[in-house]
């Protein structure tokens, strides 16, 4: 599993910019929801190519029997 990272920048005019990395699909929206609610209305949103990829889901762990 890759590391999920939020980079938050506040510019000179008080705008909050958030860059999400290490996340595939719509999970990035869930990660930023509370932050967006705290700072106000979203004025602009753009998505990286990771947003359009489907997250890899691991349903269970298979034991190999190696010791």
Quote the distance between the C-alpha of residue 56 and its chain's center: 14
**Torsion (CA) 38, 44, 46, 51 in degrees, nearest 10:** 40
pLDDT (average), residues 19-46: 91
pLDDT for 42-53, tens place per residue?
A: 999 999 888 898
Those residues whose C-beta lies under 8 Å from the C-beta of residue 19, and which sit 6 or more positions away, are 6, 7, 9
pLDDT at residue 5, rounded to an integer: 93
pLDDT (average), residues 41-65: 77
- Evaluate if residue 2 carries a pLDDT over 90: no
**pTM higher than 0.85 for the full model?**
no
């Amino acid at each position: 599993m890759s590391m999920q990272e939020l980079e938050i920048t506040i510019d000179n005019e008080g705008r909050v910019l958030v860059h999400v990395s290490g996340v595939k699909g719509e999970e990035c929206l869930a990660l930023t929801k509370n932050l967006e609610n705290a700072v106000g209305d979203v004025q602009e949103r753009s998505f990286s190519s990771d947003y359009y990829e489907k997250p890899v889901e691991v349903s269970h762990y298979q034991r190999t029997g190696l010791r």
